[in-house]
Structure 1
Amino acid sequence: MSPLTHTLASFGPLKGVTILDLTRVVAGPYCAMLLADMGASVIKIEHPNDPDLTREFPPMSRSAATPVSGFFAQFNRNKQAVCLDLKHPDGKATFLQMVAKADIVIENFRPGTMDKLGLGYKVLKAVNPALVFTAISGFGQHGPNSSRPAFDSSAQASGGLWSMNGTVEEPMRVGTVLGDLSAALYAAIGTLGALREAERSGHGQLVDVSQQDSIISLTENALVTYTETGEVVGPTGNGHPFVKPYGRYACKDGFVFFGAYTDKFWREACQAFGTPELASDPELDTMAKRFEQATYLRRVKPIVEGWCAAYTKAELEALTGDRFPLSPIKSMDEVVADPHVRERDMVVSVECQGAQFEVFGNPIKLSGGTLEKGASAPAVGQHNPQIYREWLGLDQTQYDELVARGVI
């Protein structure tokens, strides 16, 4: 394909890969953003009169003259943006020209939408046989429920996660859009796998990622527990169904996760808290004994509660060091201030339309580097001239006609 020069730099493992990003909200934009951070040239395509609705999502900027969405900036950094009306005949024709020069198309419309536009995978494959077409949806491209509308909560509900999370008394939704985020991650993995095959064989393929499927894959042992034993796993609160001690415990200024359940870690904890004799206590000296619910409630839980209650979160973190798992349950202000998080560039600055935001970085750390530091997110149609004139090769008359017709 004809590579598109990256907006910021020309390096990264995906240098030379061009992606047409038709997505909106979270799952699709996040998938494309991860690939952009690794050097892919991502063209975000939005309708001229109906751009990505997250441009209006809070938080809005405090550092720009006009409101700009930090939510949008976070999921759309390192992209170039153009306007294009895919319902207009000239818009379809222009998109097909772009497809012929691209490597990947990512969309997260409801299944069937691209076919109704006359731009489904079969059509695009005929134009570009090596194209990777990644489709992210609530329930997948086939199956009885494929046409149903979906949000993140639809996936958490239908994938079983909602029924497992929360207190013992009340199932609760996980407090982040895990259906969107997990689908984005799987879509990025699938896209890279399909791209590798396309580069090897010249044949692209459809990557079909469902939010429901993604959630099901995150339910740990719940599915196999049911299929093997008939037991339906429900909420376990802040504990674990069989591993003990492993959960939330109160301290002087909040809560910590304490996870010293193995024999080695239990011995380390007993030493750290000045009670080494508990490591050889005949009621507590093996992991199996500590797992027994009655023993846990009568002996283990009060011991751990007493240990933690005597210290603050910071004191506990310093006391335990790297001896056994213990982590303060941090609020977001504490996460942002964490020097370890800062050291790993998980808080980075992104510019969008004159506004500066601090957003999360990229958890994929490559020795060759990624592009999220100092990145920017585009305004609606910001790169129309560069993409349509310079990359696609339209002359000025053709470009002006698309503008006059409201196609771009």
Structure 2
Amino acid sequence: MAGRALDGVRVIDLTQALSGPFCTSLLADQGADVVKIESPRGDMLRHTGPFGEDDTARVYGGVFGNANRNKRSVVLDLKVPEARDALLRLIDEADVLVENFSNGVMERLGLGYDELAARNPRLVYTSIRGFGDARGGASPYAHWPAFDIVAQAMGGLMSITGQDADHRVRVGSGIGDTVPAIFAAFGTVTALLEARVSGKGQYVDVAMVDAVLAVSEVVVNTYSHTRTAPEPIGNQLRGFAPFDVVPAQDGEVTLGAPHNPQWAKLCTVMGRPELITDERFDTDDKRWINREPLYEIVTAWTSSHTVAELIELLGGIVPLGPIFTAEDIFADPHFAAREMLPTVEQPGTGRDIEVTGVVPKLSRTPGDVRHRAPLLGEHTVEVLRAAGLDEAALTALETAGGTVIQEGVLS
């Protein structure tokens, strides 16, 4: 069996909620040994649903399970000196540390970058915070806590999302967490590659609002060129037409044919070849300027067909797609062929559940979802023994309140 791209990389995961765990799950999917350090009460996300009706144990919900697959869990109360010492032993042999505590917390615990880099100079130290760390630029909001909705709002995405300027909305998924996580994983792997050459680690600083801004290209591109702030325009994209959700007899589909080659193909299928050279619509810019009469023509045609008919007529010819619900996605052959819904055991239910699959498909060293998320402290004994702690040291650590030895317990 082929190896994985990050086999042999040890990651100490000091994260909770979604942004940090999602970042480290991407590393774990590619083979990194991710050791998740949790307090005795566990990651706050363990207690968040969804839970199946048959899940009476409720050791963790769907969001935690998806973001923490392929990891091992160790319980350490870092306020206890013995636990901090055990963590330092793990860090000394690690390649990466990822954390998403509020500014200053790691320093107060004696686990700041400067202290750890002095112990382990090759350590890549990645942090994800709402407004970043001073090392990457001192934000006036550095002390503000942040959630996904704050990142979406202050990163500009909410300013362009919604039906109009009076109805701005948050994007439905937690991309204010997951997009920063993707940037953090990219930065971490980039720093790891450089460390293989230089032998030195470095600090990787990701601000959630920065990451959201980076994918809100409409905000930057429009304002930088025109000094006007773009506003929400529903499902359209400024400067592109047709590019929208359009009606069918029995539902809706998404349609994009904003450039001349696509527009010509659409006109041909509609049986309206004269529109290709119509002076109102013969350039990309004119189609946007004259979008109201354009959409009247296009939607009158799409409304005369069912969704299935539109897929048959336009699928593979111009960009078009139905709006899939979760039920549709779970039944669609694309996601099965791409292994985007692998299953893992859900503790306490006796059944397997689907999680999201690995997106980048590496041909020689493919990543994979190998096992479920860990129970709280499931691997404490295993990991700490491997780090050199004997039975007496483990007992002393537990007696001091630095850990809870509950390996394999569904509670």
TM-score category, normalised to shorter length: over 0.9
2:44 matched to which residue of 1? 53
Which piece of structure 1 moves more, 225-234 or 340-349?
Answer: 225-234
2:4 matched to which residue of 1? 12
2:373 matched to which residue of 1? 377
Find the partner of 1:95 among 87, 93, 100: 87
Equivalence map 1:5-404=2 (5 Å): 11-48=3-40, 50-62=41-53, 64-67=55-58, 68-142=60-134, 143=138, 144-168=140-164, 169-292=166-289, 295-298=290-293, 300-355=294-349, 356-389=352-385, 391-404=386-399
Question: 1:279: how far off?
Answer: 2.5
Q: Deviations over 1:342-375 (max 9, x none)?
A: 2111111122424422121111111135443452
Distance 1:17 1:10, change over 3 A: farther
Distance 1:214 1:385, change over 3 A: same
Q: Distance in 1 between matches of 2:396 and 2:178?
A: 39
Q: % of aligned pairs identical?
A: 39
* Aligned partner of residue 342 in structure 2, secondary structure: strand
Q: Deviations over 1:16-63 (max 9, x none)?
A: 000000110110000000000000000011001x21111111111345
Q: Deviations over 1:213-237 (max 9, x none)?
A: 1111111132243233221111121
Aligned residues: 395
* Aligned partner of residue 80 in structure 1, secondary structure: strand
* Aligned partner of residue 347 in structure 1, secondary structure: coil
Q: Distance in 2 between matches of 1:158 and 1:285?
A: 38
Q: Does structure 1 retain, via aligned residues, the 8 Å contact 2:255–2:321? A: yes
Q: CA RMSD in A?
A: 1.7
Which piece of structure 1 moves more, 136-145 or 267-276?
Answer: 267-276
Question: 1:289: how far off?
Answer: 2.9
Q: Distance in 2 between matches of 1:369 and 1:348?
A: 18
Distance 1:70 1:370, change over 3 A: farther
Question: 1:393: how far off?
Answer: 1.4
The two structures have a TM-score, normalised by structure 1, of: 0.92
Question: 1:265: how far off?
Answer: 0.8
Q: Distance in 1 between matches of 2:108 and 2:302?
A: 60
* Aligned partner of residue 377 in structure 1, secondary structure: coil
Distance 1:365 1:122, change over 3 A: same
Distance 1:319 1:228, change over 3 A: closer
Q: Deviations over 1:249-273 (max 9, x none)?
A: 1112322111111111111112223
Q: Distance in 2 between matches of 1:10 and 1:340?
A: 24
Q: Deviations over 1:182-209 (max 9, x none)?
A: 1000000000011111121111111000
1:5 matched to which residue of 2? none
2:409 matched to which residue of 1? none
Letter in 1 for 2:23: C
**Unaligned regions of 5+ residues in structure 2, if any?**
404-411
Distance 1:275 1:229, change over 3 A: closer
**Unaligned regions of 5+ residues in structure 1, if any?**
1-8
* Aligned partner of residue 376 in structure 1, secondary structure: coil
Q: Distance in 1 between matches of 2:369 and 2:124?
A: 28
* Aligned partner of residue 375 in structure 1, secondary structure: coil
Q: Does structure 2 retain, via aligned residues, the 8 Å contact 1:105–1:132? A: yes
Question: 1:93: how far off?
Answer: 0.9
Q: Distance in 1 between matches of 2:220 and 2:262?
A: 29
Q: Distance in 2 between matches of 1:368 and 1:21?
A: 27
The two structures have a TM-score, normalised by structure 2, of: 0.92
